[in-house]
């Protein structure tokens, strides 16, 4: 298990992040890609679709391009103001470049080349942006309230939300991995962007579906409440079967 950690100063806040990723028991390799930046408050997770070369190429390309396209500046330990590297225009432009790059990477690869992309990016005003494309997730625990802040871009999410079928139906199970938006999609869809304030005591969890499919949301809520580490959290996914690659990032605000 590969574990990384970073501390960031953002305005009057200290953000402490830890992250890890594991292969699990199903696949011979890890098709999740994780980036935890050392110089600025940025965490990115991607989950390749399938287990072929297109999955590997998509995840690596998406994370590399997103990090590069948002690298307009960095924060010093004293919290110096960087040039703009977040905000709606910058983030949408970065994801557009990701779409183009993943599509280009897949031209000579047989089969699907695609991945999810979920990111947490601090802004110079002391807030943070969540970037969502696909079905990896971002959660927050604030004042004892645990919330899923992102939407899954899947046919099942639309079907359940609109009452087309029940959450425990055969149709919902069938459609849970039918992504409607992802990096590498021929329609080059835009991401969801959500700006969130950062309060002392907030805890954020970014994870791929190898975590959220394996562990119930109630367990994830307890994990953030109990300050479970990413190592312990990912170990629980193995205890539950380890049916997928699993990646998690926990960010504590103080």
Sheet containing 117-122, strands listed edge to edge, beginning at the edge strand earlier in sequence: 32-36, 42-47, 117-122, 128-133, 192-196
pLDDT of residue 81 exceeding 60, the answer is: no
Residue 197 has pLDDT above 50, yes or no: yes
pLDDT band at 85 (very low <50, low <70, confident <90, very high): low
Q: Return the number of other C-beta atoms located less than 10 Å from residue 229's C-beta.
A: 15
87 — alpha (psi -120 to 50), left (phi > 0) or beta? left
**Among 178, 226, 184, 176, residue whose Cα is nearest residue 205:** 226
Q: Is the pLDDT of residue 84 over 80?
A: no
| CA–CA gap between residue 127 and residue 117 (Å, rounded) | 20
**CATH for the stretch 2-152+183-253:** 3.60.40.10
Phi and psi, residue 136, nearest 5°? -70, 170
Count Cα atoms within 13 angstroms, Cβ side, for 102.
35
Q: What is the mean pLDDT of the chain?
A: 93
Q: Report whether pLDDT(15) > 90.
A: yes
Q: d(Cα 39, Cα 78) in Å, to the nearest integer?
A: 12
Residues 37 and 6 sit within 8 Å (Cβ to Cβ):
yes
pLDDT at 239 over 90: yes
Query: What local confidence, expressed as pLDDT, does residue 83 receive?
Result: 47
pLDDT digits (tens, 9 = 90+) for 206-221: 999 999 999 999 999 9
For residue 82, the model assigns a pLDDT of 46
Q: Which residues, including other chains, have CB under 8 Å from residue 31's CB and lie 6 or more apart?
A: 47, 48, 50, 51, 55, 56, 59, 245
Model confidence pLDDT, tens digit, residues 20-75: 999 999 999 999 999 999 999 999 999 999 999 999 999 999 999 999 999 865 44
What are the residues whose beta carbons fall under 8 Å from the beta carbon of 204, sequence distance 6 or more?
A: 120, 138, 139, 140, 141, 249, 250, 251, 253
pTM over 0.95: no
Whether 252 shows a pLDDT value over 60: the answer reads yes
Residue 232, both tokens: 């312990």
For residue 105, the 8-state DSSP code is H
């Amino acid at each position: 298990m590969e574990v990384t950690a970073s501390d960031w100063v953002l305005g009057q806040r200290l953000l402490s992040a830890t992250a890890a990723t594991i292969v699990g028991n199903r696949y011979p390799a890890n098709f999740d890609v994780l980036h935890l930046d050392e110089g600025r408050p940025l965490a990115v997770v991607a989950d390749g679709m399938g287990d072929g070369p297109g999955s590997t190429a998509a995840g690596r390309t998406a994370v590399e391009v997103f990090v590069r396209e948002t690298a307009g500046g960095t924060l010093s330990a004293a919290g110096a103001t960087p040039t703009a590297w977040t905000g709606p225009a910058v983030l949408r432009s970065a994801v557009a470049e990701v779409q183009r790059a993943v599509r280009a990477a897949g031209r000579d690869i047989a089969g699907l080349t695609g991945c999810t992309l979920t990111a947490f990016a601090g802004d110079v005003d002391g807030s943070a942006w969540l970037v969502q494309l696909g079905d990896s997730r971002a959660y927050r625990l604030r004042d004892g309230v645990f919330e899923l802040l992102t939407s899954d871009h899947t046919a099942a999410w639309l079907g359940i939300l609109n009452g087309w079928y029940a959450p425990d139906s055969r149709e919902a199970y069938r459609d849970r991995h039918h992504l409607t938006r992802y990096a590498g999609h021929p329609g080059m869809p835009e991401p969801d962007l959500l700006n969130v304030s950062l309060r002392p005591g907030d805890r954020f969890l970014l994870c791929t579906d190898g975590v959220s499919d394996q562990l119930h949301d109630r367990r994830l809520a307890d994990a953030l409440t109990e300050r479970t580490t990413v190592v312990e959290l990912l170990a629980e996914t193995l205890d539950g079967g380890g049916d997928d690659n699993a990646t998690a990032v926990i960010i504590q605000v103080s």
